Structure 1
């Protein structure tokens, strides 16, 4: 027997109603024989908008009233943002499904006044009440903002559209902010909802976005994921809801929330924890910030491959290609950019691809880069960077690039600044490429000493595809190849070799040490 109508309980905020409509639509596709009635319920967190959540006593600020309606049978299931859910739930309730997760990043939305201050190095007032965000974002912005711009933070509460509206309030007034910090997923969902889209598009007019890197600014555990709950004894409703369950999302948020179980959860925590899935590396968990005891849990955690020795040798001789790359010098082969770059997406593969002649064009373009260190160097040159790939490869950002919020179009819209040896790889993607420099060793190619070291190596870490092309024939056929997760891995695989892929050379070195 299947229920014909299920009552969905949700908060009444614009985002909560949008998320509930998304779930209702998904259920309609998976179970067209079941209709969904959405019932809005006001919660304590919706009423107390003038006090930061960490100053309010108790917990379940956004879920207590929904739980009550569910337990009393006034609704059949509820939809909540998972980050708002406490670890300890009522024993008569259970999570029937965690749907596919949206992008978990935080994003800073700079309003018109904030955008002007970015150009002149002023101090930008940013709205956020999250202790976690206040812990991790300020030190990041100290290096990430261009022109030496500063940042100060002030408390802000309210729904997404309410917070965005304060970017457009009169400057100098008590309600005005230059920027606000929000969850990327929330804005993206609102832009996809027919009832919210026009309002949110209007509020985003004249703004700039900055996607915060998970390595330095991990988010609240569970951010970007939804929790669909029902009564544990209601097997019929559970069976309907389970159609939406996504095992990958469940695995990621379980990894994050395990830290809340270990260290305590809620709005009082200052640490962030975000697990993201990489197609070559699997789940990567970024954590940063102090626990309530004051212990910092900064780091990256992932499933390290099983150590493997070179089959023909009973020893380890590791060769680190990144050390070889440090002996290279760059030679400029192109300068300048087209003048009409305003609003066009540009990917800077390394900050050394940029020279002073390019800065006027880059300052009007939408700039993304490969990692946080290149980001910081570009910021010192006065370039506003929207986000970076965190050393995990351009493709890792594909879901962000294709989103309605980022609005970056397809590859044909991009210009990539890179070195000469990488030109063909990028051209194959269909984008415009400016190879602005080439890398050369002083005195020519590999030295005899270097060749000898490579020939004796049992484990090799390739730092670039061009390095692999130049030196691969020197490596023993039994050697264990490794590299980072970007284009180098693709290049090596195309040659019929399956390398071990690591997030960084440091992680490779740790792996070598476990042998």
Structure 2
């Protein structure tokens, strides 16, 4: 096999990610030609409502997966934070790698830090996870939904529609926009989404030749952390649009996992931590603790669990 086609969304960040994988594959396999198939997904088209109301982040994957099924592409590159905890039958993620800064980034129009923003300031955030943690930190601010790619959101802030935004640090770094960051929110103040900052490569489970070619890119340490985080999402039967954060660190073979689940208004945040060597056991311990604190009530009220 000497040619591969990558299905990708057409946003600047998605194209950066696909081109990064393209270059890595061509470097790993001299003589291999890798091309891109740019696509618009339903998640890119439906911008008038929050993702949690129109089907969740899985809307960013469906068209790409259809291209794999139809043989128009061999693999798809995703931001792992957008990948549902359970893939459709027949699909696998042979590669989880390239994890950048996992933190959320606070970007304000006037360069004012989160703690110093005047009461009533309007902050744009696309995710319920960020919204609930922001409201818990600063209940006197207006936290409002925002959709669109990074450039679109920054434009809305500059036009005065928002006073500040919270975005993924990794995306800003990859787009060479890190100079716009007012401050990085540490993982205790804003627990990241499961998989945040990492890339995943999806292909058909039956495509052994493709799996063999791309396996060289997998990062076992990144995979261990991301899979541990995703155990929380799966264990709670939550959508990746839920107000749920999970972040794992691997140190000397031991995984340390922190998670938060909140009500969208930020008045209630459940927190849990666990450590151990096995992703399944660590994830299960955190899920059990969150459920003991009332996670199911929060998820049922959202109709996301």
With normalisation by structure 2, the TM-score equals 0.82
CA contact (8 A) 1:282 1:303 kept: yes
* Residue 137, structure 1, aligned to residue 134, structure 2: yes
Alignment partner, residue 125 of structure 1: 122
Q: Contact 1:77–1:228 (CA<8 Å) still a contact in 2?
A: yes
Structure 2 Cα separation of the partners of residues 186 and 208 of structure 1: 11
Cα deviation for residue 83 of structure 1 reads: 1.4
Contact 2:249/2:255, CA 8 A, preserved across alignment: yes
In structure 2, distance between residues paired with 1:96 and 1:271: 25
- Pair 1:177 & 2:162 matched: yes
Q: Which residue among 226, 232, 236 is the counterpart of 2:205?
A: 232
Aligned to 1:36: 34
Check conservation: 1:215, 1:300, Cα contact below 8 A.
no
1:145-179 deviation per Cα after TM superposition (whole angstroms, max 9, x unaligned):
xxxxx52211100001111222221x3xxxx2111
Are the counterparts in 2 of residues 106 and 184 from structure 1 also a CA contact under 8 Å? yes
Q: Whole-Å Cα distance in 1 between the matches of residues 207 and 263 of structure 2?
A: 37
Partner of 1:217: 190
Show the counterpart of 2:13: 15
Aligned length: 275
1:269·1:291 contact (CA, 8 Å) conserved in 2?
no
The one of 126, 148, 160 equivalent to 1:158 is 148
Whether contact under 8 Å (1:286, 1:301) holds in the other structure is yes
In the TM superposition, residue 299 of structure 1 has moved relative to its aligned partner by: 2.6
From 201, 222, 235, give the equivalent of 1:262: 235
Q: Please give the per-residue CA displacement for 1:403-425, whole angstroms capped at 9, x wherever unaligned.
A: xxxxxxxxxxxxxxxxxxxxxxx
Instruction: Give the drift of 1:262.
Output: 1.1
* Per-residue deviation, 1:290: 3.9
Cα drift, residue 58 of structure 1: 6.6
- What are the Cα deviations for residues 352-384 of structure 1, in whole angstroms up to 9, with x where unaligned? xxxxxxxxxxxxxxxxxxxxxxxxxxxxxxxxx
**2:60 matched to 1:70?**
no
- Of 23-32 and 116-125, the range deviating more from structure 2: 116-125
1:401 is aligned to none
Q: Is the 8 A contact 1:215 1:287 kept in 2?
A: no
> What displacement does 1:125 show?
1.1
Task: Please name the residue that 2:99 is paired with.
Answer: 101
CA distance in 2, matches of 1:55, 1:124: 25
How many angstroms apart in 2 are the aligned matches of 1:116 and 1:103? Answer: 19
Structure 1 residues 244, 184: closer, same or farther in 2, change over 3 A? same
1:117–1:123 CA contact under 8 A, matched in 2: no
- Shift of the 119–85 alpha-carbon distance from structure 1 to 2, 3 Å rule, reads closer
1:90 Cα offset (Å): 2.3
Q: Quick one: structure 1 residues 124 and 32, their matched pair in 2 at CA, closer, same or farther if it must change by over 3 Å?
A: farther
Cα distance in 2, alignment partners of residues 180 and 121 from structure 1: 14
Question: 1:345-364 maps to which residues of 2 (within 5 A)?
Answer: none
Alignment RMSD: 2.6
Question: Is the alpha carbon distance of 1:119 and 1:180 closer, same or farther for their aligned partners in structure 2, counting shifts above 3 Å?
Answer: closer
Q: Distance in 2 between matches of 1:91 and 1:26?
A: 27
TM-score by length of 1: 0.50
What is the CA-CA distance between 1:285 and the residue it aligns to? Answer: 1.4
Residue 255 (structure 2) pairs with residue 283 (structure 1): yes
Cα distance in 1, alignment partners of residues 201 and 75 from structure 2: 7
Q: Which residue of 2 aligns with 1:427?
A: none
Q: CA deviation at 1:138?
A: 2.3
CA distance in structure 2 between the aligned counterparts of 1:139 and 1:291, rounded to whole angstroms: 10
Question: Matches of 2:146 and 2:118 in 1, distance apart?
Answer: 24
Shift of 1:100: 3.0
- For residues 138 and 26 of structure 1, do their structure 2 counterparts lie closer, same or farther at Cα, with a shift above 3 Å needed? same
Corresponding residue of 1:54: 52
Match of 1:335 in 2: none
Instruction: Show CA shifts across 1:435-466 (max 9, x none).
Output: xxxxxxxxxxxxxxxxxxxxxxxxxxxxxxxx
Change (3 A) 1:70 1:124: same
